[in-house]
Amino acid sequence: MKVGVIGSGGREHAICFSLKNSNKIKEVFCFPGNAGTASIATNIDIDLNDFKKLKDFILKNQIDFVIIGPEKPLVDGIVDYLEKFNIKVFGPNKVASQLEGSKIFTKKLCEKYQIPTAKFGIFLNSKSASSFLQKCSFPIVIKADGLAAGKGVYISENYSDASKAVDEIFNGKFGKAENLLIEEFLNGEEMSFFIISDGTCFKIFGTAQDHKRVFEGDKGKNTGGMGAYSPSRLESDELTQKIINNIIKPTLEGLKNLNCEYKGFLYAGLMIVNGDPFLIEYNVRMGDPECQTLLPKLKTDFSIIINSCIEKKLQKLDIEWHEDKSLCVVLCSKGYPDAYKKNIEIDLKKIDLKKNQYIFHAGTKITDNKIVSNGGRVLNIVTRSYDFKSARENSIKLLNEINWDNGFYRKDIGYKVIQ
Ligand code: AMP
Ligand code: GLY
């Protein structure tokens, strides 16, 4: 079979890698891909906003199915568009993608189906938001409604910070804003919980914990993710049952009542407060770097899992995992998440990967036969091991061997599970 993968990050490299390991897959095309995908797939440089060009290429090259990695094309309706041309696609449609595309859509669904989440209010202008904030206790959370690449969330410690956040959102920092959300601050521990669904049934697809802040000790600005580990230390049968019954099932039921079947990965960002899960956000895709952390643990052929979803046969499939731990450290360009240099060479020629070690590229490309940096997050170093401590040690050993002058990384990924 021939497969197409849409996206260019570490998540998509890990997806291409898992597909390539299947003897059912003859060829992988990655749109547009990076230097890592170039070594195992054919990179095709098409603008992801140009659905028509993508469709023409997929049909012309008789690609059997397509996996959508990032949220933007999903929220923009790429699945609905490609399916109109009878292309098989793995990913949720436009209606379902509002779970990530509109925080207010999700909050209203939570309200209707009594899904536990932070208490919230929706405000249409800065005046009403500010007068509400004068009566609030702090910290409080302020969120832009639409997609903001993980940046549209403020946790404000006082009135002055909060009203600055409100102004920034209404002044269009994250795109035109007709409203915003103010919500209660939940004090607990975060957990990422993944399922995969074929529209009629779903299976759990693992748990993870990512580290969003740029500096060690979870300090500094939010980023796309500086590292992750799987499984989450909070994972237990009791918690899983609560997440499934109180959050996942009512969400899928709510979508069904909108005539919408959910097909794809669904990523619930949860806050666990005194043993009870609260929904913070949904993402309608795998997490990045959680995907790179999780996929190496998969035993079952990834292409069979995706195909079963597309064929609505997931029910019959048993998804099997390696029992060990997995930990990912992200190598970033100095300066990220603010300004950073691009086009700096990264020499990986002498790097020897040990068993159960993986390098997944993110912001890289090939120029004059050399790998050069092309983004803020550059490489993902993943190690699977019997414990998190040795997984981290081995990832850091590899980072020392790579010894990239222009880079930095967090040495404390997984500190809550490593003594
Ligand atoms: P989000 O983009 O919604 O995932 O939010 C980014 C980060 O803000 C989350 O990973 C949490 O760490 C934090 N956050 C969001 N909402 C809340 C909340 N209601 N209470 C506490 N922390 C939150
Ligand atoms: N790692 C967080 C995300 O993918 O949104």
Tell me how far the alpha carbon of residue 320 is from its chain's centroid. 21
290 belongs to a structural domain: yes
- 101: pLDDT strictly greater than 80: yes
pLDDT tier for residue 259 given thresholds of 50, 70 and 90: very high
DSSP state of 229: E
The ligand placed nearest to the CA atom of residue 185 is 1
- 379: pLDDT strictly greater than 90: yes
- As a whole-number percent, the residues of the chain with pLDDT over 90 amount to 84
- Do 310 and 219 belong to one domain? yes
DSSP secondary structure of 253-318: HHHHTTT---EEEEEEEEEEETTEEEEEEEESS--TTHHHHHGGGB-S-HHHHHHHHHTT-GGGPP
Taking residues 124-135, report their average pLDDT. 86
DSSP state of 84: T
DSSP secondary structure of 271-283: EEETTEEEEEEEE
Q: What confidence tens digit (pLDDT) does each residue in 194-234 have?
A: 999 999 999 999 999 999 999 999 999 889 899 999 999 99
Q: What is the CATH number of the domain that holds 344?
A: 3.90.600.10
Taking residues 1-22, report their average pLDDT. 97
Q: Which residue has the tokens 């098409």?
A: 46
Taking residues 278-306, report their average pLDDT. 97
**Which residue in 279, 404, 296, 294 sits closest to 357, CA to CA?**
296
The ligand placed nearest to the CA atom of residue 269 is 1
- 161: pLDDT strictly greater than 70: yes
Using the 3D structure, point to which of 316, 343, 369 is the last residue of a domain: 316
The ligand placed nearest to the CA atom of residue 99 is 1
- Do 198 and 163 belong to one domain? no
- Do 200 and 287 belong to one domain? yes
- Do 255 and 136 belong to one domain? no
Q: Count Cα atoms within 13 angstroms, Cβ side, for 57.
A: 22
Using the 3D structure, point to which of 316, 333, 348 is the last residue of a domain: 316
Is the CB–ligand 2 distance for residue 225 below 6 Å? yes
**Which residue in 68, 33, 46, 48 sits closest to 371, CA to CA?**
33
- 131: pLDDT strictly greater than 90: no
Is the CB–ligand 2 distance for residue 290 below 6 Å? yes
112 belongs to a structural domain: no
pLDDT at 177: 78
pLDDT at 149: 66
Taking residues 276-302, report their average pLDDT. 97
Q: What is the CATH number of the domain that holds 145?
A: 3.30.1490.20
388 belongs to a structural domain: yes
Specify the pTM. Answer: 0.95
Q: 127 vs 266, which has greater pLDDT?
A: 266
333 belongs to a structural domain: yes
Q: What is the CATH number of the domain that holds 27?
A: 3.40.50.20
Domain that holds residue 170: 119-184
- Do 334 and 310 belong to one domain? no
208 belongs to a structural domain: yes
Dist. CA 269 → ligand 1 center (Å) = 8
pLDDT tier for residue 399 given thresholds of 50, 70 and 90: very high
Q: Which atom of ligand 1 is nearest to the CA of 150?
A: 2
Q: Which atom of ligand 2 is nearest to the CA of 286?
A: 4
d(CA 308, CA 56): 25
Dist. CA 273 → ligand 2 center (Å) = 21
Dist. CA 134 → ligand 2 center (Å) = 32
Whose Cα sits closest to atom 5 in ligand 2? 287
Q: How many domains does the chain have?
A: 4
Pocket of ligand 1, beta carbon within 6 A: 118, 141, 150, 153, 155, 183-186, 190, 212, 269, 271, 280-281
Kind of pairing between the strands at 153-156 and 189-198:
unpaired
Whose Cα sits closest to atom 4 in ligand 2? 287
Is the CB–ligand 2 distance for residue 283 below 6 Å? yes
- Do 309 and 226 belong to one domain? yes
The ligand placed nearest to the CA atom of residue 330 is 2
